[in-house]
Structure 1
Amino acid sequence: MTGAVATLEEDGPGDMSGTPKKTSKKMRTSLMAYAFMAPALIVLVLFVFYPIIYSIPLAFTDYSAIGDTSFVGLDNFKRAFNDSEFWIAMKNSAIFVACVPVLQILSILLAVVVNTKLRGVTFFRVLFYIPVVTSMIAISIIWSFIFNPDGIINSLLLQYGWIKQPIYFLADTRYALASLMFVTIWQGLGYYMMLYLAGLQSVPEEMQEAALIDGAGKVTVFFRITLPMLKPYIWFCSLFSVLSALGVFDVVFAMTKGGPDKATMVMNLYTYNKAFGTFEFGYSAAAGLIMSVVTTVFSLTIFFYGKKGGMSYGE
């Protein structure tokens, strides 16, 4: 009894006085976290959320920066659906999504390679990640020189006699869009490689070693153990990659400006040209709103498919 009273005397006041202290500490921690997030949140509110919210009513108007702005209802949307260039841009944006499976498969394979314990593997990890932290505009300029008719690719192909005349990668409607897709895959390879590398290093080695001891081959271990454990990473990377593909702009703007003959015109460039080329801000907002709906549908499809398919640990 005496021991119990002593315990209560020691713990009781501490618990009573500790509760507000713990609450105060949690509040300070939360305030500190919000303080660190505040600069990024302010930037997002000013340059992302506010323009998105403002563009919704703008899509229903004939906006003029110097004259009167008039309400036009659904006219901008009707015009978009009847515009052939709009549908070309939508088609090219959808084709860009074809980059996603190629990029994800290559990233997984590359992550498997650099996950091995070999001398100099850290150097190769850094080497593949350099394009990720390099400006896309700078990358586009470099690849424009490489794809040039007098560039290194055509020079090598002509030297070895594989082609008779230079290939106009960026000026031929047959190759322009594929060339831009190749650049985006090359630039994003290192980013997704690092994500998958983190996933590979989280896979328990005991499971792989046990399977190998039981007689399973390395290929079987990869497809039966490693790859299923990467499902959450595949889900996230695929979703993020689809959003990036649908929102592609910089590489197209820097390398082709949507040409030749609109073969590389994508939705972001289309809305940009309408807003800042012909100053049709209301119509541009309407086209952008349509693209936002399409992007949301793509995202929700991948999200619910991933949930249904068990894209998380333990499912």
Structure 2
Amino acid sequence: MDKVMSNKGVIALYVLPSLLLLLSIVYIPIVLTGYYGLNKWDGISPMSFIGFDNYKTLVQDQAFWQSAYHSLLLAVFSAISLIGYLAIALVLSGKIKGANLLRKIYLIPMLLSSVAIAQLWIKIYHPSNGVLNTFLNSIGISDPPSWLADPKVVLFSLFVPIVWQYAGFYILIYYAGLKNIPETLTEAARIDGANSWQIAMRIKLPLVTEIIKVTVVLSVVGSLKYFDLIYVMTDGGPNGASEVMASYMYHKAFRSFDFGYGSAIGFFLLLICLLATYLIRKATATKDTVQFH
């Protein structure tokens, strides 16, 4: 077996299928998107090469930068919500009653499609007979906002179901990391007189730091390119108040039939995600990594 695996030809043969798959569904589309962004194209007629004109238009497009601001707000909101997810995981990883049931409850949103979640929250936010406004009316608030129609609140109304949608995913990641910490470490800390708060802050959190870094990257980058639930619930409305970069790209490409400009937005969004990943990794880089065996 060692002789076979030391053969470079055999190694290349094993790697080739996955490499071809990666090229066909990731790298080639990225290159094509960058090329389309250099053209004026409606998706049907022949492309007309215009150089960097689409990118110059993008820099001056106030509607795009407004959508970028909304995506940034979502990224910040999602990153902050990780604190809540981590707190829940810390509680669930302890010896509490009903932890198994609570874990299953938190995982329910992961079992639903984005369309199903969107339809559920549209019903909750319904201005006349939705659960939320019905409750607010019952406690004396006679004029609650139209959550998905008011430009002042629509964006934050969308943040709530998005955070709820991914709660189970991040809680599961944190829970798995916390449960992987040896019990001997926490037991030794308790014998030395440490309370639950001290154990969480000084033992558990340092040991899951690398996991936290990964989830921050996933959360921020995922938020910057988020699309599906916003598209179903508001389609970027009202009047662009909930437009994000991905939905703006979709509207330009598939509604305005400006595939060249839409491709430029998509390629620029890729660069923003790469830059965000680099900055987060740079900001959270440490010389020493806490390890346990």
Give TM-score, length-normalised by structure 2.
0.90
Equivalent residue number for residue 191 of structure 2: 213
Supply the distance in 1 between the matched residues of 2:277 and 2:45 (Cα, whole angstroms).
Answer: 38
- Partners of 2:225 and 2:269 within 8 A in 1: no
Aligned to 1:270, which of 248, 268, 284? 248
Distance in 2 of aligned mates of 1:192 and 1:114: 13
Partner residue of 1:52 out of 10, 30, 40: 30
Could you say which residue in structure 2 is the equivalent of 1:11?
none
**Identity of aligned pairs, percent?**
31
Aligned mate of 2:134, from 151, 155, 169? 155
CA contact (8 A) 2:206 2:290 kept: no
User: What do residues 17-54 of structure 1 show as CA deviations (whole Å, max 9, x unaligned)?
Assistant: xxxx4323777x9799769x85x973x54443332110
Alignment partner, residue 23 of structure 1: 3
Residue aligned with 1:98, SS: helix
Code of the aligned partner of 1:24:
V
CA distance in 2, matches of 1:259, 1:219: 44
CA distance in structure 1 between the partners assigned to 2:151 and 2:78 by the alignment: 22
Ranges in structure 1 where 5+ consecutive residues have no aligned partner? 1-20
What is the root-mean-square deviation of aligned Cα atoms in Å? Answer: 2.4
Distance 1:191 1:45 in 2: 28
* In 2: Cα distance, 1:41 partner to 1:307 partner: 33
Partner of 1:63: 41
- State yes or no: 1:116 paired with 2:116: no
Please tell me whether the aligned partners of residues 90 and 200 of structure 2 are also in contact (alpha carbons under 8 angstroms): no
Tell me if structure 1 keeps the 8 A contact 2:38–2:53: yes
- 1:224-248 Cα distance to aligned partner (Å, 9 max, x none): 1111111011011111111111111
- Aligned residue-pair number: 290
Please give the alpha-carbon distance, in whole angstroms, between the structure 2 residues aligned to 1:155 and 1:32.
Answer: 63
Q: Is the 8 A contact 2:109 2:165 kept in 1?
A: yes
Could you state the TM-score of these two structures normalised by the residue count of structure 1? 0.84
Partner amino acid for 1:159? S
- Alignment deviations for residues 134-180 of structure 1 (CA, whole Å, 9 cap, x no partner): 1011101110110111200110111121x121321111112111111
- Three-state SS of the structure 1 residue aligned to 2:285 is helix
Unpaired segments of 5 or more residues in structure 2?
none
Letter in 2 for 1:127: I
By how many angstroms is 1:307 displaced?
Answer: 2.1
Larger Rg: 1
- Whether contact under 8 Å (2:93, 2:175) holds in the other structure is yes
Equivalent residues in 2 for 1:242-253, closer than 5 Å: 242-253=220-231
Counterpart amino acid of 2:137? L
Aligned residues of 2:43 and 2:258 also touching (Cα < 8 A): no
* Residues 166/304 of structure 1: CA separation in 2 closer, same or farther (3 Å cut): same
